[in-house]
């Protein structure tokens, strides 16, 4: 690739910013009971540490989803509200995302979550590059972003596999 592959920059406080952004929501919803699974706070800090070390050996589905949230916030400057909120819709989305992550791990990665590191790197390096190019050309990007449904879908997984195959033949 012509641009630097940076998955998580040291000193970048994306996980802290994500946790800070949703802290008021967490406090308001504390009376309603715990949010499960949590993709902010401690889970986001764990995911950020895994991204920084580039080691997903001990990752689980929650870490993968948290890493997605951290990278989304880092690239777009906006947390993925559809999975970090305390409401029923966010809980439903988190459950759906976790189910999809587990299915991919089971079907494509023999139950291992470590390969998600490279899938996330592929997605967010490319997306960061696209965002930067649009800013450099002073052309606003309209429309889409990488939602959890796109991040953990078959077509993006296939694009990543094609990229892996191409890298092996170079």
Give per-residue pLDDT as tens, 99-158.
Answer: 999 999 999 999 999 999 999 999 999 999 999 998 898 888 777 899 999 999 999 999
Question: What is the DSSP-derived secondary structure letter of residue 152?
Answer: T
At residue 70's C-alpha, the angle toward residues 16 and 154, to 5°, is 170
pLDDT of residue 5: 37
Q: What average pLDDT does the chain have?
A: 81
**Could you tell me how many residues make up the chain?**
170
Q: Please state the rounded mean pLDDT for residues 12-16.
A: 51
Better-predicted residue by pLDDT, 53 or 13 = 53
pLDDT of residue 98: 95
Cβ neighbours of residue 22 under 8 Å, at least 6 residues apart? 40, 79, 84, 85
Residue in the block written with tokens 């494509």: 108
Its pTM surpasses 0.85: no
pLDDT at 26 over 80: no
Determine the Cα–Cα distance for residues 140 and 76; give it in Å rounded to an integer.
13
pLDDT of residue 31: 43
Determine the Cα–Cα distance for residues 105 and 111; give it in Å rounded to an integer.
5
Strands in the chain per DSSP E = none
């Amino acid at each position: 690739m012509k641009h630097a592959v940076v998955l998580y920059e040291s000193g970048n406080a994306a996980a802290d910013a994500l946790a800070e952004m949703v802290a008021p929501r967490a406090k308001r919803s504390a009376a309603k009971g715990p949010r499960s699974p949590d993709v902010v706070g401690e889970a986001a800090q764990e995911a950020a540490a895994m991204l920084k070390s580039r080691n997903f050996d001990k990752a689980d589905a929650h870490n993968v989803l948290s890493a997605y949230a951290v990278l989304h916030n880092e690239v777009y400057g906006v947390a993925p509200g559809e999975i970090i909120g305390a409401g029923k819709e966010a809980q439903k989305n988190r459950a759906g995302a976790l189910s999809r992550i587990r299915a991919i791990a089971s079907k494509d990665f023999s139950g291992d979550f470590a390969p998600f590191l490279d899938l996330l790197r592929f997605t967010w390096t490319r997306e960061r590059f696209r965002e930067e190019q649009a800013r450099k050309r002073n052309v606003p990007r309209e429309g889409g972003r990488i939602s959890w449904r796109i991040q953990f879908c078959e077509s993006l997984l296939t694009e990543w596999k094609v990229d892996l195959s191409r890298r092996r033949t170079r």
